[in-house]
Amino acid sequence: MDRSVLVTGAAAGIGRATVERLLAAGCRVGAYDVDTAGLATLADDQADAVADGRLVTGRLDVTDATAWGERLAEFTAPVGGVLDVLVNNAGILSSGRFEEIPLARQRLMVDINVGGVLNGCHAAHPYLVAAPNPQVVNLCSASAIYGQAELATYSATKFAVRGLTEALDLEWADQGIRLTALWPLFVDTGMVVGMDTGTTRSLGVRLTAVDVADAVLEAIDAPRRRLGRGLHRGVGRQARAMLSASSLTPAWALRAVNARYASH
C-alpha cells in the first residue's frame, strides 16, 4: 500500500492505532494533533519511520483552516502535492444530560467534530484530485443512526459528518474521490474514560482502537463499488447489525430501541 495518508487526532487512541497500522502496511503517513507530547512519543516509537521519511508529525488544530493549508502543503510537498487518503479522525466527546454540559463544551464539540471535518475536506481537495485513486475516510459513529440521550450534541455532530460524507460522495464522484464513513459504537480509548450513560451500560464498550484502525485499512483497500455501496461501514458486530437494521426500521421503532438502551 504505497500511499500518502494524513491522519488527524493521531497522538492517541484510534488515530495513533491507525497511524501504526498504516505504517506497517507501507504507507507514508502524516500524523497530526494538538497533543504534541503524544506525537513526540509516537515519533519515538516509530523512529525508523521518521528517519526514512515515512512518518511526518506536526501540530494541527483542526478548527484552524489556515493551519490545515500549511500542514497539507508541507506534508505533500515531497510527493508532488498529492494526497492519496485523508482520515478525519479528530474528535472530542462529552456525555451527560444536555442541560448539564456547559454550552462552551458543546460548541467545542461542534467546532472540532464538524468544523474539523469541513476544514479538512475543503483544504485537502486540491491535493486529493491530484491523486490517482483519492479517498476520504470520516470517523462517524453509531450515534448517528438515531439521536442518543446523554450524547445529544456529540450525536448531532456525527449526523453532520454523515450528511457531509453522503453529499461529498455525490459531488466528488465525477472527480474520482471516494468517500467512506466508519460507524463504530463505543471504543475503549481515553474518550470513554469515566463515561457512564444508559447506552454504555446497555451495550458495553467492546471495541478497541486497533479494531477501528483495522476498519480504516479495510475501507482504504476495499474495491470501488457503484451506487454508493460501501459508503457507510459499521465497525464491529453490534454497529454492523444496527446500521443494517436501521435502513428497514421506522423512526418510531428506532426511538423505542434507543429509549430502552438509555433507560438502563
Cα–Cα distance measured from residue 237 to residue 254, given in angstroms and rounded to the nearest whole number: 18
**Distance of alpha carbon 224 from the chain centroid:** 20
What's the confidence (pLDDT) of residue 133? 95
Does the pLDDT at position 22 exceed 70?
A: yes
Does the pLDDT at position 261 exceed 70?
A: no
Cα–Cα distance measured from residue 47 to residue 38, given in angstroms and rounded to the nearest whole number: 14
What's the confidence (pLDDT) of residue 48? 97
Place of cell 436501521: 246
Cell numbers that stand for 240 in this block: 454492523
- pTM recorded for the entire structure: 0.90
CATH C-level class of 4-262: alpha beta
Cell numbers that stand for 173 in this block: 464522484
Amino acid identity, position 248:
L
User: Kindly report the CA angle at 32 between 183 and 125, in degrees rounded to 5?
Assistant: 70
Residue 33 bridge partners (DSSP): 59
pLDDT band at 263 (very low <50, low <70, confident <90, very high): low
Cα–Cα distance measured from residue 162 to residue 212, given in angstroms and rounded to the nearest whole number: 17
Helix (H, G, I), strand (E, B) or coil at 3: coil
- Active site members: 154
Helix (H) or strand (E) holding 7: strand 4-8
Tens-place pLDDT, residues 159-178:
999 999 999 999 999 999 99
CA max distance for the chain = 55
Q: 263 exposed, middle or buried (CB, 10 Å; 0-12, 13-18, 19+)?
A: exposed
Helix (H) or strand (E) holding 56: strand 55-59
Residue 240 bridge partners (DSSP): none
* 259 torsion bin: left (phi>0), alpha (psi -120 to 50), beta (else): alpha
